[in-house]
A and B are shown apart, each in its own frame.
Chain A
Amino acid sequence: MLRSPITHDRCHVTLEAFAGQALAGISLGMVWFLIAAGLSIIFGTLKVLNLAHGSLYMLGSFCCYQVTVSLAGVPGNFWLAVLIAPLVVALVGGIIEVFLLRPIYKAEMIYQYILTFALVLIIAEVCKMIWGTGYHSVKVPWPFQGSVGIFGLSFPIYNLFLIAMGPLVFIGLRTLINKTDLGRNIRAVTENREMANALGTNVPRVYTGVFMLGAWLAGLAGSLWPPVSVVMLGSDMAVVIDCFIIVVIGGLGSLAGAFVGALILGLTTAFGLYLIPKLAVAFGFILMIIILIIRPYGLMGEPE
């Protein structure tokens, strides 16, 4: 689960506690952003709502754990895992797109939903067969161990690193989509599939590329999170439902929307757990319903 850095006990509301919750909420939100960005890019380009996106995240977590353990003793083993695990997940994503999604793009939406739902079942079961039902943990890697004092409150350095990753990946993705050839192709296909095809863009290849990029992002988030929490079954659906809320709040298919949505949900979750723990599970949904009343297409989405 993605909730560990948040204080569950109720204590007096102080500036320190406030700042602590805010930082915890932002670091949570930034990891969510990585996953939601992948979900959003895939939806924007392929028009596929990938229910199995959280499963790719969970697969990334397990792979990261596996590589870290297998390379125990090798210096920087965790960082090698962060390199390798997302690539494995991207590869799995590529296989899924080519062999399973490609045949059903023309069918109704319901078939995509159910197909990706079947993948949720399959990936969870495979993870269970390989890694079992127990918890696995990954140590906080060098050089981010320990805490620093912020507003008189000690805050884990690793979470600050996570907070920095969000904007870095956001800028990276913006640059990729706005400045590179691949990005131009992605935008062309997103805008008008037939026209892009007629003008010589290899649409199937762009689809596979985008799906692999999205899977890679989910895998990256999955690799970065274990030092903060534990690796276990069940994180797949928890994460994908949170990410659905994020992309709906932000506007489906909008990268900036995913960023803003992730921040809002991260902060709401952190403060909600702190102030009204009883209703915490429903906060995201209530937030989503309220925002959609005000802005039916999400904060940064455009009417279809």
Chain B
Amino acid sequence: MVALPYFLGQSWLSITTEMLILALAASALNIMLGYTGMVSFGPAGLYAVGAYTTGVLMEKLGWGMLPATLAAPVMAGLVGALVGWFCVRRSAVYFALLTLAFSQVIWTVIFQWYSVTGGDDGLVSVPVPDFFFEVTNCYYFMLAVVSVCLFAIWKIVNSPFGMTLQAIRENSNRVEFIGVNVKLYQLASFVISSMFLGIAGSMYCVFSGSAFPDYAYWVKSADMLVICLLGGIYNFFGPLVGTVVYTVLTKIISEYTMHWHLILGGIIVLIILAMRKGVVGTLSAYWAGRKSEAA
């Protein structure tokens, strides 16, 4: 990954940088989706909270980049705690719809609060340091930030805390019987996921020097869900592989046809009917099968 700038042209390097950020967002969503088993339709809302926190603090209040980016996960975590506190008490379907509702409320606030967020014009001149105008510099910075965050997520999901989350996914009733406060763990999972989503949003704001209401729109959430599913949700590497597959697919298909939504929809249907564990899940199941045959 470190050597990539020597092989890729400017445009693909820029796409790769975007992919890094998207991979972080998808992995953050997967803490909830894959590990805790909570289907959220609203990750884009928290992603946008992160992006706008950084954008507004830098553009409107003149904060420096470091405090503005550090404020993003804090703000996203707070919003996540509020939304999560309300949502985790509900059954799965209500949870999904409520997260959608909250993210649409966030979208509306961004859209309508013109004096702060710039409304549908967005924030277009976030004063990012000149350092980031160079694609290669930006790439290395994002690579560093995303690697650290992914390492943190890896540590979290493989800690005893992460194991408890997976146990809740498998059978929340039984976990409750052992004396675990399931709702509290689910809330914690929601907040942690929100914080990393906030970081991803903040990084995208730095990368593009802008923030738009679209970041909070439900389509963005759907993208993240599809990415996790493409790669495989019961695996740490699923969302990462999903990001690469999804980005490359959309770039390639949209070059050849205007109707790429049709093809994307078709691919999703095929994946769900034929290889439900996603790319990583299916491959690892295949290798496990090969190994046991050999033994």
Contact = CB atoms under 8 A, between A and B. Distances in A.
A284 B264 CA distance: 31
Contacts of B37: 108
A278 B101 contact: no
Interface in A83-106: 100, 103-104
Contact of B98 (A110, A241, A282, A292): A292
A96 B265 CA distance: 14
Interface stretch (A11-19, A184-192, A214-222, A244-252): A244-252
B229 interface: yes
Contacts of B21: none
B101 A129 contact: no
Contacts of B273: 100, 103-104
User: For chain B, what secondary structure do more than half of its interface residues adopt (helix, strand, loop), or is it mixed?
Assistant: helix
A241 B265 contact: no
Contacts of B100: 241, 244
Interface in B230-289: 233, 259, 261-262, 264-266, 268-269, 272-273, 276
Nearest to B104: A285
Contact of A114 (B89, B93, B105, B272): B272
Interface residues of A, number: 43
B92 interface: yes
Given A110-B229, A129-B259, A104 B89 contact: no
Interface in B89-118: 89-94, 96-98, 100-102, 104-105, 108-109, 111-112
Nearest to B33: A110
A245 B262 contact: no
Interface in B63-78: none
A12 B23 CA distance: 52
Interface residues of B, number: 39
B272 A115 contact: yes
B86 interface: yes
A155 interface: no
Contacts of A72: none
A171 interface: no
B101 A288 contact: yes
Contacts of A104: 272-273, 276
Contact of B262 (A122, A278, A279): A122
Nearest to A124: B261
A122 B94 contact: no
B97 A248 contact: yes
B182 interface: no
Interface of A: 43, 49, 100, 103-104, 107-111, 113-115, 117-122, 124-126, 128-129, 237, 241, 244-245, 248, 252, 278-279, 281-282, 285-286, 288-289, 292-293, 296-297, 304
Given A119-B269, A121-B265, A128-B259, 8 more contacts: A100-B269, A103-B273, A104-B273, A117-B226, A118-B272, A122-B265, A122-B269, A237-B218
Instruction: Please list the 4 inter-chain residue pairs (A to B) with the smallest Cβ-Cβ separation, ordered nearest first.
Output: A121-B265, A122-B265, A118-B268, A282-B108
